[in-house]
Structure 1
């Protein structure tokens, strides 16, 4: 196969350097795609979200009318998906006087709304980056499939194995020191301090308290480790038997 790029002709069959570069890039893209997809699957799991609402006594802590809790969750997820334009979500709040008519009111203040815009933008950025990475990975996969299929196995093995170790370390950091890891994450990805919430004034911290985030991140890590672990095991087995077979013919 001959590729022409910017007037430069590359003979892929005779250029192991380009095969190696493409393999490395594929090895980087594949785990990244797995990770972002795992985050997406964990975040948009409505059943999990509702379970956490009950486990963390969200209705009691926020004062949101019980029948409106499902609506609030739907609107939060809709906003994160980009299907809802703003985060000014309205719901009914329970009243001390049972005879008083319930009215829909905004349940989040401007600080919470602004921070959630930052959260959505960050999330949508990584989803878009994942889609670009997926398209690029498919192209590189096809190139290697035609030129050097064995390079695909090596690429997926080393990429998955390295990322597997990295995510095990990251998961361990969150398990053994959640507060420090959670704080570091926000400092790295947010340019302001709006993520610092006050339980007395910010209702969002009661809707998604620390136990919620701990369980959510645990699911993200598991959803990432399982496919990477399976890929590492399968490609590692193929490489092992291939090398063993080559030794038999020496």
Structure 2
């Protein structure tokens, strides 16, 4: 009895817990397959030195080292396998060989894609460079078309505006009251001319029918205009209204071109108006020369373009000839040419391609803008 009591007391006493700290272990069988053939700990130490991981003095340090060794080992055996297999060191190894029997493994970066180093033929390179330069230097077609269109439209618009200024009562008043204008040898005074002439000019721009002139009578009760004169004035009215309608359409088209060039082409409006002014000057100077060399022939050919033969010739005592003698048409031609010429000259001066308008910076200005440097001795 006495002998059993101490034994039972010993068994009932609490046993101490086993020591679980394995920081002093030099090897761990779970990761022995990671170690190269050179030694148990040599592969782990090399991996730790390469990755500069903390030494396995504790559990956390050992786990970090083991993680670094595992990642480097996986990178060299997994992602880098295609590149390593092409090297002489990896040519003699295979997946069937036992782990740890291979020699020292060296991690290498995968080679870049070989397609990036393939250079196309010289002809292809030159062709691509030429296409790139042509695409960089090519200008849009639409702005050029708008510039040409505006350059052609502007002379016509100026001419139509000048014609509209001549077919007005104001021009009649200036003509009938200017010194040197021939009087009427059949009895019309300046007041009569102004009154009857205003009816004829107004008829050209309104929407009234031929009766607007056909029902006019003189003081004695006779018709002011004969049927042939009324018919010719109706033909003139068709030409004038068609011209004014075309001028309105061209003016709208010119405004569209100006708005487009203002947004899409820097200096496009200036270049178009400059070219249009040159065209206008050439036309006016050419037509003016023809008119000066033979006015009667020029006047006749002009009427043949728009009117049938025999429908625009009248006697000296007809109302149209008494209201609008030959001198009136000469003055009208001079007035139209002068107004168009003046407008084209002003446009030419305002759109002249000066250095400032072309955007060219003077070398003197750029040199003056640079800060002056003084050499110190």
TM-score, length-scaled by structure 2? 0.54
Which whole-Å CA distance do the structure 1 matches of 2:359 and 2:257 have between them? Answer: 28
Q: Give the C-alpha shift of residue 198 in structure 1.
A: 2.1
The CA deviation string for residues 9-29 of structure 1, in whole angstroms up to 9 with x for no partner, is xxxxx8522211111001111
C-alpha spacing 1:89/1:208, structure 2 compared with 1 (3 Å): farther
Counterparts of 1:1-250 in structure 2, within 5 Å, are: 16-44=140-168, 46-53=169-176, 55-58=181-184, 60-61=185-186, 63-64=187-188, 68-86=192-210, 87-88=213-214, 90-92=216-218, 102-200=219-317, 202-236=318-352, 238-243=353-358, 245=360, 248=363
Contact 1:75 1:89 in 2 (8 A): no
* 1:10 alignment partner in structure 2: none
Q: Which structure shows the higher strand fraction? A: 1
| Unpaired segments ≥5 residues, structure 1 | 1-13, 93-101
Determine helix, strand or coil for the equivalent of 1:173.
helix
TM-score, length-scaled by structure 1? 0.80
Aligned-pair Cα RMSD in Å: 2.3
Which whole-Å CA distance do the structure 2 matches of 1:51 and 1:231 have between them? Answer: 27
Contact 2:147 2:268 in 1 (8 A): yes
Which whole-Å CA distance do the structure 1 matches of 2:160 and 2:309 have between them? Answer: 23
* 1:3 alignment partner in structure 2: none
Q: Give the C-alpha shift of residue 197 in structure 1.
A: 1.8
| Unpaired segments ≥5 residues, structure 2 | 1-137, 367-377
User: Which structure is larger by alpha-carbon Rg, 1 or 2?
Assistant: 2
Which whole-Å CA distance do the structure 2 matches of 1:67 and 1:165 have between them? Answer: 39
Contact 2:153 2:254 in 1 (8 A): yes
Contact 1:29 1:133 in 2 (8 A): yes
Contact 2:172 2:194 in 1 (8 A): no
Q: How many residue pairs align between the two structures?
A: 222
Which whole-Å CA distance do the structure 2 matches of 1:64 and 1:242 have between them? Answer: 56
Determine helix, strand or coil for the equivalent of 2:351.
helix
Which whole-Å CA distance do the structure 1 matches of 2:262 and 2:183 have between them? Answer: 52
Q: Which structure shows the higher helix fraction? A: 1
